[in-house]
């Protein structure tokens, strides 16, 4: 049973764009957890938060992490907060290699500014300082991974190459 490759990391670290390309390269199936939750609930993430709250989103996230832990040969892009639950980490680790994608607050800010409306946890006027604080608060949660990749100033394809090199 081939292990899943699970991409973890803060918003804007490139989990989805890297994950998609990595799956293509390794000929594995790609699963983007946020997109799956949107399919399951029939709501975009921002609306799910607005209508039913973060608690409902986290419970969908947990159910999905449990389901995916029973599958194999997947590249999984998680949502940035999946690591906030120890149960999720344990589930994803059951049959998965956990890889943390990292980026500096400055780079994250540049990237998320392009897609801010779809991220309910980010306020409109967010700045580098806010990102730094959020990164600090989550630092210990992201430390659970098998290895970390710095994505600053790297195109997704370069990150994919680095991951495949590390996996060998």
Question: What residues make contact with ligand S3P under the rule CB under 6 A?
Answer: 11, 15, 34, 45, 79-81, 119-121
Taking a C-beta distance cutoff of 8 angstroms, is the pair 7, 19 a contact? yes
- Least CB distance to ligand S3P at residue 168 (A): 27
Cβ atoms of 44 and 38 closer than 8 Å: yes
Torsion, CA 132, CA 16, CA 39, CA 90, rounded to 10:
-70
89: Cβ–Cβ under 8 A, 6 or more apart, which residues?
A: 82, 83, 98, 144
- Which residues have C-beta within 8 Å of that of residue 86, sequence separation ≥ 6? none
> Is the CB of 11 or the CB of 109 nearer to ligand S3P?
11
CB of 96 to ligand S3P, least distance (A): 17
Q: Who contacts 48 (Cβ-Cβ below 8 Å, separation ≥6)?
A: 37, 38, 41, 56, 57, 60
Rank residues 2 and 47 by Cβ distance to ligand S3P and give the closer one. Answer: 47
Choose between 79 and 96: whose C-beta lies nearer to ligand S3P. Answer: 79
Instruction: Output 21 or 119, the one with its CB closest to ligand S3P.
Output: 119
Q: Smallest gap, in angstroms, from Cβ of residue 105 to ligand S3P?
A: 14
CB of 120 to ligand S3P, least distance (A): 5
């Amino acid at each position: 049973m081939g292990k899943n490759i699970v991409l973890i990391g803060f918003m804007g670290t490139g989990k989805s764009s890297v994950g998609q390309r990595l799956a293509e390269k390794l000929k594995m199936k790609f699963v983007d957890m946020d997109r799956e939750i949107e399919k399951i609930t029939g709501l975009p993430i921002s609306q799910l938060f607005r209508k039913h709250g973060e608690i409902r989103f986290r419970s969908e996230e947990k159910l999905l992490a449990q389901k995916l832990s029973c599958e194999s040969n997947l590249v999984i892009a998680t949502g940035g907060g999946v690591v906030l639950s120890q149960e999720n980490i344990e589930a994803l680790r059951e049959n998965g290699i956990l890889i943390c994608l990292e980026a500096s607050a400055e780079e994250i800010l540049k990237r998320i500014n392009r897609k801010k409306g779809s991220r309910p946890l980010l306020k409109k006027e967010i700045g580098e300082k806010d990102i730094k604080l959020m990164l600090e608060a989550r630092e210990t949660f992201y430390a659970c991974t098998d290895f970390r990749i710095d994505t600053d100033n790297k195109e997704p394809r370069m990150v994919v190459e680095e991951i495949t090199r590390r996996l060998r």
